Copies of this chain bind each other. A is one copy, B any other.
């Protein structure tokens, strides 16, 4: 079986390591790709074609591994060459999932959760053809959510409403505790109920958020506009990140 990877960044690199079956051939192309990408391709065992078109054409499954902003363009570009399943793993919005699904007969909406670089992620899938990808369970954990295109993206957004707002809350509370010179005690007291790793985890969340506050603020903006619900806490998190 051939699996074409359109794009070969970090996620693709680790996925190609995970999906390592005897009868599985992962192929990609270095066409118009950056030096970093070419380096990742060289470090892996995948087969390299001159163009993505060729790779897609001879594949049973095509996986789009690009960026949220280029996902729709990529989907348009290869729709006439893909006869098998087209799986999008670009962190796209539920709306974009639906748009892409209209271009392909066998579209699957996917999301990778967990740390890919520790080679222990979970692949969440949605769509009527998701069941055809269950064989991937031999290589990584695969969960099928539903037949509804967009549900994998939606689930990822729902997860973000929680994790990003939690980070904003942690920033607020630890700053307040620090102001009163009680931050060490704040972590100690909470580790009683939140677990021994509360401090370590919280500081890592805070740092990750502070280091990418603009991007996380933009992601919260997308979430707020997508769900169109009365999200008091999520809106406050957006406000908190805007003021950092």
Contacts and interface: CB of A to CB of B under 8 A. Distances in A.
Interface of A: 113-114, 122, 124, 143, 145, 151, 154-155, 158-159, 161-163, 165-166, 168-170, 172-173, 176-177, 179-180, 182, 185-186, 188-190, 192-193, 195, 227, 229, 231-237, 239-240, 243
B227 A232 contact: no
Given A124-B189, A233-B233, 14 more contacts: A143-B185, A155-B185, A155-B186, A158-B176, A162-B169, A162-B190, A163-B190, A165-B169, A166-B166, A169-B233, A173-B233, A179-B229, A195-B195, A235-B236
A231 B158 contact: no
Main secondary structure of the interface of A (DSSP, over half): helix
A237 B240 CA distance: 13
Contacts of A182: 145, 151, 154-155, 158
A192 B122 CA distance: 9
Nearest to A120: B192
A16 to B, nearest CB: 22
Contacts of A232: 168, 172, 236, 239-240, 243
A233 B236 contact: yes
A154 B176 CA distance: 11
